[in-house]
Structure formats: C-alpha cells, structure tokens
Amino acid sequence: MKKALIAICVLSAACALAGCKNREEQLEAERSKGAAMVEDKAAMVKGVGQALQNDGKKAAAEITTGVGKVFGGVAEGVDRAYEAKIVMDASASARKLASERAVRLGADGEKKDGVKVYVLSGEAFKGKLQLRAQDGKGVEVGRSDKVESTLDADDATYVEFRFDSATPMSRVEKYVLHAL
C-alpha cells in the first residue's frame, strides 16, 4: 500500500510538472478561446459595417439604378402595347394636318373605347376630325365620333376620338385621320 501511495504522489507530481490541468482550469481555457473567437467575429462584423457605411450607399444606388431600368423597360413596353398606327387621309393631308403619335384608350366609365391622337397643323385648321378604324386587310371596321377641333398654324394638340362599343378594337391594325 505504501508503494501505491508513493506511486500516486509521483504521478501527481509528474502531472503538476507536466502541466496537467484540472477540470476548472480546462473550462477556463475553453472560455478564453470562446471569448477570443467572439472578439474575432465581432471585429469582422464591425469591418463589414464600416465598409457598408463607406460603400453601401454606392452599392444601393447601383442596385436601384438597375431595378429602375427594368421598370423603365416595362413601362416602355406597356406604352408600345397601347400605341396605334395612324395615317392621314388625303383630306387631312390637304389641310396640312399630320400625326406623330396615337395611343389606344380603353373604355373609361361611361366613355367608349377610343384613341388619343397627337395632331399637328402646318396651317390654321377649324373643323371636324374623324378617325376611321381599319383591320389588317384595310377594311373599315368602325368610325369615331366627329370631333370639333381648332388649331393655329404650326400648332399641335392631343385629340380624343371615341368609337361605338360595337367596333372590334382588337382587330384594328391602323387608324386613318379624316378632316371633314
């Protein structure tokens, strides 16, 4: 037994000299490692935060510019979907009327389907205008209400033309502007 006691003392002394740690010392070492890891991660997050403060505004501006261009493209596509082909009848051309643009209008409450036409005048015009709808074969499929218009020389305005609800607007390929 004396030998066993001596062996335990020698072993304890060897562990103490060799750096064997008890359970509390091991836990304290692990806590220190954990605290060091947290400090490293916190420093990284702080660096990310500073970078975002410096460059985040620029990055957000680039992203929103891209998103804005996507929405601009969508809006342009929608505008094109509502554009209408417009040509001048000889009666309108003779009165020096022209058109650059026409946009289809849906039914609006009590109003009928229609087309808004940007009409330009080379000389003064006072009279009635009418828009006639044609299908892809050039066959007339409807006429707008007659609209009283007054334009000065070198003038331009949007003129709204409304069609009977029976006009098959989905079949219309072009509109012809007539001066009456």
Domain boundaries, the chain: 11-80, 86-179
Tokens (6 digits) for 93: 């051309």
- pLDDT value for 167: 92
For the full predicted model, state whether its pTM sits above 0.85: no
Kindly report the CATH number that applies to the domain delimited by 86-179: 2.60.40
Distance of alpha carbon 100 from alpha carbon 92, whole angstroms: 14
Helix (H/G/I), strand (E/B), else coil: 174: strand
> Which residues, in sequence order, are CB contacts of 114 under 8 Å at separation 6+?
104, 105, 144, 160, 161, 162, 163
Per-residue tens of pLDDT for the chain, all 180 residues: 666 656 565 556 555 555 556 888 887 778 888 778 878 887 887 887 777 777 777 766 777 776 666 665 655 554 454 567 999 999 999 999 999 898 888 766 666 889 999 999 999 999 999 999 999 999 999 999 999 999 999 999 999 999 998 999 999 999 999 999
Per DSSP bridges, beta strands 174-179 and 86-88 are parallel
CA distance 161 to 146: 8
Residue type, 82: Y
